[in-house]
Amino acid sequence: MDYPNIDPVAISLGPLQIHWYGLMYVVGFVAAWWLGRRRAHRIGLSQDAIGDLVFYAALGVVAGGRLGYALFYGIERLVADPLWLFMVWDGGMSFHGGLLGVLVAALLFARRHRLGYFQLTDFIAPLVPIGLGAGRIGNFINHELPGRVSELPWAMPFPHMGPEPRHPSALYEFALEGVVLFVLLWWLSAEPRRRGMISGMFMLLYGVFRFAVEFVRLPDEHLGFIAFGWVTMGMLLTAPMIAVGVALVAWSRRQPVDGSLGHWGVPSRDHGRAS
Which whole-number Å values give the CA distances from 217 to 48, 122, 232, 237, in the listed order? 40, 30, 9, 15
Give the C-alpha separation, 65 to 96, whole Å. 7
Give the C-alpha separation, 69 to 81, whole Å. 14
Annotate 226-264 with DSSP letters as a single string. Answer: SBTTTB-HHHHHHHHHHHHHHHHHHHHTTS-SSS-B-TT
Give the C-alpha separation, 128 to 182, whole Å. 8
Residues 6+ apart with CB under 8 A from 157: 2, 3, 163, 164, 165, 166
Residue 1: count of CB within 10 angstroms of its CB: 11
Q: Does the annotation place 136 within a ligand binding site?
A: yes
Cβ(93)–Cβ(138) under 8 Å? no
Give the C-alpha separation, 177 to 140, whole Å. 14
Tell how far CA 199 is from the center of its chain. 13
189 exposed, middle or buried (CB, 10 Å; 0-12, 13-18, 19+)?
Answer: buried
Known binding-site positions: 136
